[in-house]
Amino acid sequence: MSPVRGLRSPRAVVRAVALAVVAAGTAALLGGCAGTDGPTSAGRADPVTGPAELWPSSKPWPAAPPATGREEGPRPLTALPRVSSGDIRKVSAGSVLLAQIDADKRRGQPVFEEDEERRIRSCADRPGTGSCPVRAPEYHDLTGDGKDELIVGVPSGTNLLIIYAYTLRHGVVTSILDSTSSPQSVEVADHKLIIHEPGDAAGYESRTVYAWSARNQVMTIQDVGFGRRAPASANPSGR
């Protein structure tokens, strides 16, 4: 029996309906665009800075657990004198680190072993020199207010790096970051502190991004990623 004329197959009906839906959606989009006044400016954007690598000559360490950091809140180091100038560079990085060690011990949360602490205290007044475990202090704007923060790095154990960051709040040196990691490299870009660590698989790395939280007044983990390690030729100048 020949098919009855005027009737469509189910496949043809479905296809016709789909085309009609696409056409209607396109018309709606075009109509919506026609009714707008075009793109508007969101205002002036802050300039992007960095990346600037911290301690580029340090030897990378093997893979380890992901970076960790405290995010409870800012911790003022009240044992240090107030800085009336508002410039944290006027404060000795060594004295800040020793005040941090003392504060941690008072809270019953010492970070360093006794022999590590002795080595730190013996050379805290000259960080970044000779065999001193305390790395040279770094100064970068992490809060976005145009003023530098102090960043201190201290190796601990076999392959850990303790990273502290400090800002001034009403003249008081205040801890805003306390991180432990085994970094391949550490850098600051666009007010963020980024820690690159070797991944479990060859050619891969993990990345932890700390960013300033105006609400919490500390550096908090903004992003954790895992991907292919950038080739050396692609690294920015200075890395």
CB-side exposure of 189: number of CA atoms within 13 Å? 13
Cβ(75)–Cβ(174) below 8 Å: yes
Q: Is residue 5 part of a domain?
A: no
Q: Is residue 7 part of a domain?
A: no
Cβ(31)–Cβ(23) below 8 Å: no
Return the residue matching tokens 């893979």: 63
Residues spanned by the domain of 63: 52-234
DSSP-based three-state secondary structure for 126: coil
Q: Is residue 199 part of a domain?
A: yes
Q: Is residue 12 part of a domain?
A: no
pLDDT tens-digit map of 55-89: 777 655 555 555 555 557 999 999 999 999 999 99
Residue ranges in the chain whose pLDDT is less than 50 = 1-14, 16-30, 33-34, 233-239
**What is the CB neighbour count within 10 angstroms for residue 8?**
10
For the chain, list the strands marked E by DSSP.
52-54, 68-69, 75-76, 138-140, 149-156, 160-169, 172-181, 185-189, 192-198, 204-213, 218-228
Structure tokens at 95: 């004295």
Cβ(132)–Cβ(139) below 8 Å: no
Tally of domains within the chain:
1
pLDDT tens-digit map of 140-157: 999 999 999 999 999 999
**pTM score over 0.75:** no
